[in-house]
Structure 1
Amino acid sequence: MIQEILARQQHESWGAKVIERLSKDLRRDFPEMKGFSARNLKYMRALAETYPDELFVQQLVAQIPWGHNVRILDKVTTSQEREWYIYKTIENGWSRNVLELQIDSGLYRRQGKAVTNFTRTLPPAQSDLAQQLLKDPYNFDFLTLGQDAHERDLERGLLVHIRQFLLELGAGFSFVGSQYHLDVGGDDFYIDLLFYHLKLRCFVAIDLKMGKFIPEYAGKMNFYLSVLDDQLRHPSDEPSIGLILCRTDNQLVVEYALRDVNKPIGV
């Protein structure tokens, strides 16, 4: 049908209102079928022009609902980015609303952009996967925090909106606890948020900071990860990963701070 639309338009020219006439013909000939509005047919034409590779359409584009394809056609301008959102929709089972939220938040441009030391501290396959799971920046627009808010206010806000927070973190994160208690030689320490990642097969400790990154944060997280690996990590688990969430960061400062740290940390 799509090829018929393109062929008719090439033969009869754009001014011939091919789509409008074809829409009327189809609705007349197939009154029991839906989806033949002029608007839908225009999207079909756009889809055919956007994805000329029929194999790509069959193997990927056809795997997501029509409404998802329409959103991608409307909102995404480059072929590489469109393909990325199609892959992620299939991989994560995004609803149309979630897909639209991810596009509007610029997920494609944020994914995998956190500064980390993963290439030095994790095996190659684990490092690549972990890097792609982290973002910079994270989008917490669902929170309403004032300028004078503290880390505990941020933590409480994320827990109140845990569904949105998990959506922003991405697929695979399973919540373990907040202010997770660690007993080290009788001294008490607390991890702001602790998760287990089902794909990475490891614990992920998150430290929340309302200000800019300072090097001392890396040492503190390195300590947490050492304790987690000693006390919680199962023999079949991968090394625990730390994520430090700050309001701002100086990339060069982060790189120096993580250079000689032997635990996998992202900022």
Structure 2
Amino acid sequence: MVKKAMLKKVMVNKVMTNNQTQPPTQNEGLLLNIRHIVEQARGQIKQTVNTAMLQAYWQIGRLIVEDEQQGEARAAYGKAILKRLSQQLSADYGKGFDITNLRNMRRFYLAFEKRDALRLELSWTHYRVLIRVDNASARDWYRDEAVLQNWSARALERQIGTLYYERLLSSKNKAPVEQEAQEKTAPLAQTTEDYLRDPYILDFLNLQDKSYQESDLEQGIINNLQQFLLELGKGFAFVERQKRIRFDDEDFYIDLVFYNFKLKCFLLIDLKIGKLKHQDVGQMDTYIRLYDDLHASCDDNPTIGLVLCSEKSEAVVKYSVLSDQKQLFAAKYLAHLPTEEELRVELQKERERVQAQLNNVSNAAGDHLT
């Protein structure tokens, strides 16, 4: 009996050893294919449910609005109607029909009265964020960008909160941009300047202590790279930090390197704490020239350099190579999300700067004609 038990134990160990060392099953490819089909089917079901829900909510919103439009008396007790509807629908179908959601469905229809304006790739959560945007042009632009950039609802809400559209709009001549938004044929951003912002909002870094160093700023960006890419704008991908470039037996280190697939060029970022200085601009000018020579390929467009500082100097901007170097830029970053009033002030300053440039161009053209 002892021998039999020992023999059985040896056989079990041999089987276990064989199972551990045997090659991957021949059905592994089949399993992967089946998993792919299942995941694809789940995605299609999810999209079908989302589409049906959006269309249903749009129709409900339409019916509520049309019911209100039957007369002043009808509109006068609209709140009572919504309350009664909420009670009846909740009893019939459960959650999802409280008064707040019914109001959102009403606003949903009013914001997108043309059903063709709906982008079914977005979720109901996205649309609850979008209907809070009063400006129709801005709302449509945020909707299209959310689809194009695959923004989550949270990312969309943050972009709206930091006035992404308004900041981008202020960097261009207003009339052509509004025309583009109405025609919806050309993308909003066309030039290098349109892919860069000013200011950048870096509130997600949580830099509470004002005594932070440039290394803390850089590490915070690396730790929150996804959020920084979202703030950086469309088409950017992270390449490297502290990129070493060597010239004339001297090493230079670039804080952050990105690549933009739409502009087809590298973006070098130098992080600075304090006011922008002439030497900061000159240093970045050297960086982009070296990077073009040493690392950019013949298929790449000229490298862009961005000095990201906590305070800009208009004198440095005006009287340095920034004024005529088309690949060199400076922008301000804000460590904390400003108030709406502070953002309005920043936007007004930018509009005044752009308007002054346009006036200068117009005056120069007038002088030339005379």
Q: Which category of TM-score, normalised to the shorter sequence, fits these structures? A: 0.7 to 0.9
Q: Which residue of 2 aligns with 1:99?
A: 156
Distance 1:114 1:243 in 2: 16
1:89 Cα deviation after fit: 0.8
1:158 Cα deviation after fit: 1.6
Q: Which residue of 2 aligns with 1:109?
A: 166
Q: Which amino acid aligns with 1:195?
A: F
Q: TM-score with structure 2 length normalisation? A: 0.61
Give ranges in structure 2 of 5+ residues lacking alignment.
1-58, 173-186, 332-370
Residues 91, 211 of structure 1: CA spacing in aligned structure 2 closer, same or farther, 3 A cutoff?
same
The DSSP-based 3-state class of the residue aligned with 1:237 is: coil
Residues 18, 60 of structure 1: CA spacing in aligned structure 2 closer, same or farther, 3 A cutoff?
same
CA deviation string 1:149-208 (max 9, x = no partner): 222221122222223222221332221111100011322111111111122211100011
Are 1:3 and 2:62 counterparts? yes
1:67 Cα deviation after fit: 1.2
1:34 Cα deviation after fit: 6.6
Residues 261, 129 of structure 1: CA spacing in aligned structure 2 closer, same or farther, 3 A cutoff?
closer
Does the aligned pair in 2 maintain the 1:196–1:204 contact within 8 Å?
A: yes
**In the alignment, which of 285, 291, 299 is matched to residue 228 of structure 1?**
291
Residues 95, 260 of structure 1: CA spacing in aligned structure 2 closer, same or farther, 3 A cutoff?
closer
Residues 69, 262 of structure 1: CA spacing in aligned structure 2 closer, same or farther, 3 A cutoff?
closer
Are 1:197 and 2:222 counterparts? no
Length, aligned pairs only? 251
CA RMSD of aligned residues (A): 2.7
Does the aligned pair in 2 maintain the 1:180–1:191 contact within 8 Å?
A: yes
1:77 Cα deviation after fit: 2.6
Are 1:173 and 2:236 counterparts? yes
Does the aligned pair in 2 maintain the 1:43–1:70 contact within 8 Å?
A: yes
Q: Higher mean Cα deviation, 187-196 or 2-11?
A: 2-11
Residues 265, 136 of structure 1: CA spacing in aligned structure 2 closer, same or farther, 3 A cutoff?
closer
The DSSP-based 3-state class of the residue aligned with 2:273 is: coil
Q: TM-score with structure 1 length normalisation? A: 0.82
The DSSP-based 3-state class of the residue aligned with 1:46 is: helix
Distance 2:108 2:139 in 1: 11
Residues 25, 142 of structure 1: CA spacing in aligned structure 2 closer, same or farther, 3 A cutoff?
closer
Are 1:263 and 2:327 counterparts? yes
Q: Which amino acid aligns with 2:201?
A: N
Give the percent of matched residue pairs that are identical in Structure 1 and Structure 2.
Answer: 35
Q: How does 1:1-267 map to 2 (within 5 A)?
A: 1=59, 2-11=61-70, 12-16=74-78, 17-23=80-86, 31=92, 35-52=96-113, 54=114, 57-74=115-132, 76-111=133-168, 128-143=190-205, 144=207, 146-251=209-314, 253-257=316-320, 258-261=322-325, 263-267=327-331
Q: Higher mean Cα deviation, 202-211 or 159-168?
A: 159-168
Q: Higher mean Cα deviation, 146-155 or 209-218?
A: 146-155
CA deviation string 1:117-147 (max 9, x = no partner): xxxxxxxx9x834222211111111222532
The DSSP-based 3-state class of the residue aligned with 1:128 is: coil
The DSSP-based 3-state class of the residue aligned with 1:235 is: coil
Residues 104, 263 of structure 1: CA spacing in aligned structure 2 closer, same or farther, 3 A cutoff?
closer
Does the aligned pair in 2 maintain the 1:112–1:134 contact within 8 Å?
A: no
Please say which structure displays the higher CA radius of gyration: 2
Residues 92, 129 of structure 1: CA spacing in aligned structure 2 closer, same or farther, 3 A cutoff?
farther
1:50 Cα deviation after fit: 2.8
